[in-house]
Chain A
């Protein structure tokens, strides 16, 4: 269920860490749900809260100036590890709509696109610039323009990013990818018939 994404200008939160794994984004004990909603409560739980449930003061998401943040800026390999889409759902439930990082775990990247959480890959130097600006002036805003494929930093610097054209189209228009693929039913059936003659052992019923 994709939420449309076009442009977004919002307060950005610097998360000055690399290799942020999806267990850190949402610990496994929060995955015992059969719904997609309400997961914001568990977001970065071990970093946001101490063992008594009190907010950890220094953690970026707890800093007053970043409270209204809708964009997260982090270091390399963001969202590595577990495939749990709950990581994306928890970020979105918290209000985050875009994550900027030098690189992403591949599954997280894909999960983001499917939901309308825009993952933006920028070069390390560009991420460094953004993070230092955001730390110097907490509460400053970043603009993400998906149609133009640009990010504008608090200082007005413009950075370009790459994204697959199909994913971009789906995000901007809020298209239902499954409905689109289902229109290819004939192609899929034809492929199956062809495979069945070439590799019949793949079609034994399990």
Chain B
């Protein structure tokens, strides 16, 4: 009874379906713009608000919940201990991805007992709760943010969560999709809702068209370099503009994926014909009977022309060059034609110190031409860049070339379906003939958790999303770049401007 009172009398809720009886009082630090016309962010958010507290905290309904083996076992265990059930198991999908080896014998053996235990726990938890599982022997298995969209699970206008920060990927469909911790995984499993503060809203407009050798990865790296690794903190970001409109769904996913690398809570692209044609016919997308009404609804989502954002940023796509990171934060991206920066030139002593630390870790000297940096490994994969279009772009660069002596290069498709499609197109043969490894789907060398990782001191040209110290293995050094750029680095054994090798 006491707890019931906690909700009904201690706090007043606003019920959006009963009208705005109680005005929402802005809380310091939580901005509320007062634009009369809602943005796509606000439209989707408001549709999902079950109730809103005076301090701006909203109880959001969660439409889709994706689960992987690393961040979920403690949530399922706590549910068991509390005697709670998964509220809507058929809104979930589970897939092992972080721990799975990418070697061909992985069904027979996973050497690491801890990894094996996590994968088994996921299997048991999914079975017990009645959740669909794409297990390791299922062609649909792959990186959670690749398999979810492939299956048509992510639709415009929905809320989607996963215990993984790169859930922002799924915003590409015009969805509110964000990463959560294990406690929130448990909350979402048990209640199908989450308590969330409203985000501030930012629009990033990318005008014009990208040039030759420039991809969606370069666009997002340039954005992060511009606004900084903490520039999006507290914000939801809508990516807009001509360059974004021209992007395929897979390219939009690459952009939204790295929203979190700018600190953004989630990123999204308004749905359009590109979105609808991607979704049509996918297993979990609305079928013929519901398709027209779904599309009609989705068309009401885009931001109205008179809507206001808390913040606006813009970039000119035609001025973006192929990007590469030199340091240990995704904001450390530069055009490949550039040089390792000199901390001495920075006015802020704290930034200087951070840069010096990054240079020491990366074993780089200021003024070095980026294209003079040699690499030991090339990794084409991850939830950022392991979809079939990424592999096509990389294969075009690798075609008829050889991986440089002393360089180990690997391609890890984002899912079994990506792998199969790539093999149908003969991309696997292109990579194998060039001297790459062609591996099984998983998170692989993105995060140093499974057998694919860097050795101390090794330097990697990587299509993944984080160049943090030790991210790809203790002491490993990561240079983030696009699949085309990584394939170019594989040929020469150093960071290379892809425009010079094709």
20 pairs of residues in contact across A and B, judged by CB atoms under 8 Å:
A1-B183, A23-B447, A23-B471, A27-B470, A31-B70, A32-B99, A32-B118, A84-B71, A85-B182, A88-B181, A107-B165, A110-B180, A164-B56, A164-B57, A166-B57, A167-B57, A175-B3, A178-B190, A183-B3, A188-B192
**Is A54 engaged at the interface, CB distance under 8 Å to the other chain?**
no
**Is A206 engaged at the interface, CB distance under 8 Å to the other chain?**
yes
Contact indicator per residue, chain B 424-452, by CB within 8 Å of chain A (1) or not (0)? 00000000000000000000000111000
CA distance A107 to B165 in the complex (A): 8
Task: Flag if B230 contacts A76 (CB, 8 Å).
Answer: yes
Considering the complex, give the chain B residue whose CB is closest to the CB of A201. Answer: B286
Residues of A within 8 A of B495 (CB): none
Residues of B within 8 A of A17 (CB): 354
Within 8 Å by CB of A107, from B179, B448, B449, lies B179
Task: Flag if B90 contacts A36 (CB, 8 Å).
Answer: no
Considering the complex, give the chain B residue whose CB is closest to the CB of A124. Answer: B350
Task: Flag if A82 contacts B57 (CB, 8 Å).
Answer: no
Task: Flag if A206 contacts B93 (CB, 8 Å).
Answer: yes
CA distance A154 to B405 in the complex (A): 58
Residues of B within 8 A of A110 (CB): 180-181, 184
Tell me how far the C-beta of B390 lies from the nearest C-beta in chain A, rounded to whole angstroms.
22
Residues of B within 8 A of A (CB): 3-4, 6-7, 10-11, 17, 27-29, 50-51, 53, 55-57, 59, 61, 63, 70-71, 73-74, 77-78, 82, 84, 87, 90-93, 98-99, 112, 114-115, 117-118, 121, 132, 151, 153, 155, 157-158, 163-165, 167, 178-184, 186-187, 190-193, 195, 197, 229-230, 233-234, 260-261, 263, 265, 284-287, 290, 293-294, 297, 329, 350, 354, 447-449, 456, 466, 468-471, 474-475
Considering the complex, give the chain A residue whose CB is closest to the CB of B291. Answer: A201
Task: Flag if A77 contacts B229 (CB, 8 Å).
Answer: yes
Residue among B10, B53, B183, B470 with most chain A CB within 10 A: B183
Task: Flag if B74 contacts A35 (CB, 8 Å).
Answer: yes
Residues of A within 8 A of B192 (CB): 188, 192
Task: Flag if A81 contacts B468 (CB, 8 Å).
Answer: yes
Task: Flag if B263 contacts A106 (CB, 8 Å).
Answer: yes
CA distance A194 to B197 in the complex (A): 23
Contact indicator per residue, chain A 91-105, by CB within 8 Å of chain B (1) or not (0)? 000000000000111
Task: Flag if B3 contacts A83 (CB, 8 Å).
Answer: no
Task: Flag if B263 contacts A80 (CB, 8 Å).
Answer: yes
Task: Flag if A83 contacts B163 (CB, 8 Å).
Answer: yes
Task: Flag if B469 contacts A23 (CB, 8 Å).
Answer: yes
CA distance A14 to B314 in the complex (A): 37
Tell me how far the C-beta of A123 lies from the nearest C-beta in chain B, rounded to whole angstroms.
12
Given A32-B114, A181-B191, A183-B3; A201-B470 close (CB under 8 Å): no
Tell me how far the C-beta of A185 lies from the nearest C-beta in chain B, rounded to whole angstroms.
8
Task: Flag if A85 contacts B329 (CB, 8 Å).
Answer: no
Task: Flag if A183 contacts B4 (CB, 8 Å).
Answer: yes
**Is A202 engaged at the interface, CB distance under 8 Å to the other chain?**
yes
Task: Flag if A46 contacts B470 (CB, 8 Å).
Answer: yes
Residue among A31, A104, A106, A204 with most chain B CB within 10 A: A106
Residues of A within 8 A of B (CB): 1, 17-19, 21, 23-24, 27-29, 31-36, 46, 51, 75-77, 80-85, 88, 103-107, 110-111, 114-115, 121, 162, 164-167, 169, 175, 177-184, 187-188, 191-192, 194-195, 199-202, 204-206
Task: Flag if B70 contacts A103 (CB, 8 Å).
Answer: no
Considering the complex, give the chain B residue whose CB is closest to the CB of A17. Answer: B354
Residues of A within 8 A of B265 (CB): 106
Task: Flag if B191 contacts A166 (CB, 8 Å).
Answer: no
Tell me how far the C-beta of A52 lies from the nearest C-beta in chain B, rounded to whole angstroms.
12
Given A28-B447, A183-B4, A205-B90; A46-B469 close (CB under 8 Å): yes
CA distance A182 to B83 in the complex (A): 13
Given A24-B470, A179-B3; A32-B449 close (CB under 8 Å): yes
CA distance A29 to B448 in the complex (A): 7
Task: Flag if B233 contacts A103 (CB, 8 Å).
Answer: yes
Residues of A within 8 A of B117 (CB): 32, 34
Task: Flag if B121 contacts A34 (CB, 8 Å).
Answer: yes
Within 8 Å by CB of B183, from A34, A106, A111, lies A111
Task: Flag if A183 contacts B71 (CB, 8 Å).
Answer: no
Residue among A32, A162, A192, A204 with most chain B CB within 10 A: A32
CA distance A90 to B115 in the complex (A): 19
Tell me how far the C-beta of A113 lies from the nearest C-beta in chain B, rounded to whole angstroms.
9
Within 8 Å by CB of A188, from B181, B191, B287, B469, lies B191
Question: With A75-B350, A84-B181, A188-B193 given, can you name 17 additional A-B contacts, CB distance below 8 Å?
Answer: A19-B230, A31-B70, A32-B70, A36-B74, A82-B164, A106-B233, A106-B234, A107-B178, A162-B29, A178-B190, A181-B187, A184-B51, A188-B61, A201-B293, A201-B294, A206-B91, A206-B284
Considering the complex, give the chain B residue whose CB is closest to the CB of A195. Answer: B61
CA distance A66 to B112 in the complex (A): 36
Task: Flag if B470 contacts A23 (CB, 8 Å).
Answer: yes
Task: Flag if A200 contacts B193 (CB, 8 Å).
Answer: no
CA distance A81 to B59 in the complex (A): 25
Task: Flag if A178 contacts B191 (CB, 8 Å).
Answer: yes
Residues of B within 8 A of A199 (CB): 157, 294, 297
Task: Flag if A27 contacts B448 (CB, 8 Å).
Answer: yes
Residues of A within 8 A of B466 (CB): 21, 23, 81-82
CA distance A164 to B90 in the complex (A): 33
CA distance A24 to B285 in the complex (A): 39
Tell me how far the C-beta of B109 lies from the nearest C-beta in chain A, rounded to whole angstroms.
16
Task: Flag if A24 contacts B284 (CB, 8 Å).
Answer: no
Tell me how far the C-beta of B230 lies from the nearest C-beta in chain A, rounded to whole angstroms.
4
Residues of B within 8 A of A165 (CB): 53, 55
Residues of B within 8 A of A82 (CB): 164-165, 447, 466
Task: Flag if A184 contacts B181 (CB, 8 Å).
Answer: no
Within 8 Å by CB of A191, from B50, B55, B167, lies B50
Within 8 Å by CB of A81, from B6, B77, B178, B260, lies B260
